[in-house]
Chains A and B, each alone.
Chain A
């Protein structure tokens, strides 16, 4: 099993550009989520999904879109990048019955 994979590892965007951060898992987990990690702050939930076709907002959803067309994939779209979105982004997955979450390796995004 590859676990949770994220691409790209690093990305630099200019203000106003759009892009998609990819996340995939091969553990057949229903639950997937996106977090951002900023210096001096805990991980914060952006969006999450409890299964294909079902998504919901987390704590800091503004400026981000998600969709879940398959169990395996949960892409995060930045519609119009802003410097405030400079952060490290983590995708995680888990099963609804168990509480454990598995994290991807992260994507470091810089918006200039």
Chain B
């Protein structure tokens, strides 16, 4: 059983398209993270949110605590957005809020 489910697993888009990646979770959380992992492996944090919506450039993250669901949107996608996007939730019930990770969504954007 995975506490965090992401969909889709793989996503291919044409440059300029609007992208949505979904994340559902089953535990009570104190925060949700969206991470980006580029080929070559480095992981960077894109967003951390506990309610509502955050925007950074062409990226928007939303969360619905009642429905235990979050989405990551990319507007006007570009080939440099090609990466694995990982959703992680911080368990409210565990010591220091342990992180549970989704399996990731592989996004490929073609020019």
Contact A99 B31 (CB under 8 A): yes
Interface string of B5-41 (1 = CB under 8 A from A): 0000000000000000000000000110101000001
By beta carbon, the residue of chain A nearest B50 is: A99
Contact A42 B41 (CB under 8 A): no
Known: A90-B43, A99-B31. A42 touches B100 (CB 8 A): yes
Q: Which of A40, A100, A103 contacts B43 (CB 8 A)?
A: A103
CA distance A106 to B98 in the complex (A): 20
Interface of B is mostly: strand
Q: What is the interface size of chain B, counting residues whose CB is below 8 A from a CB of the partner?
A: 25
Contact A42 B48 (CB under 8 A): no
Q: Which of B4, B95, B97, B102 contacts A99 (CB 8 A)?
A: B97
- Measured between beta carbons, the chain A residues less than 8 angstroms from B45 are 100-103
CA distance A41 to B104 in the complex (A): 8
Tell me, yes or no, whether A45 is within 8 Å of chain B by CB: yes
Tell me, yes or no, whether B85 is within 8 Å of chain A by CB: no
- Measured between beta carbons, the chain A residues less than 8 angstroms from B41 are 88, 105-106, 108
Q: Which of A58-94 contact B (CB under 8 A)?
A: 58, 88, 90
Residues of A within 8 A of B (CB): 31, 35, 40-45, 48, 50, 56, 58, 88, 90, 96, 99-103, 105-106, 108
